[in-house]
Structure 1
């Protein structure tokens, strides 16, 4: 399926797709950290103030 999409005529997003498939750079680590922070915020909602939440983020 994906190979068929690559054979379509050039689109506006072609450089972005090409870069995503060929370059070794990605934002996986950043997304993982964001997910962990959101999880901590959900767990501590209403129970911890900003200083405690900050300490939890820095310790994890």
Structure 2
């Protein structure tokens, strides 16, 4: 995200989710990153959905 490539940030975070089983803290961070990436792409509904999943993961 720092480099301004929101779609790529979301893609990497989604890949990370597949490796983060059993790590709710990491899953929450990745969902929060996905939410930020979606917001940066103008997807407010998708961002809200991802951020909700971040809260559920904790």
Q: TM-score, normalised by structure 2?
A: 0.36
State the structure with more CA Rg. 1
TM-score of the superposed pair, with normalisation by structure 1: 0.35
Structure with higher RCO (Cα < 8 A, 6+ apart): 2
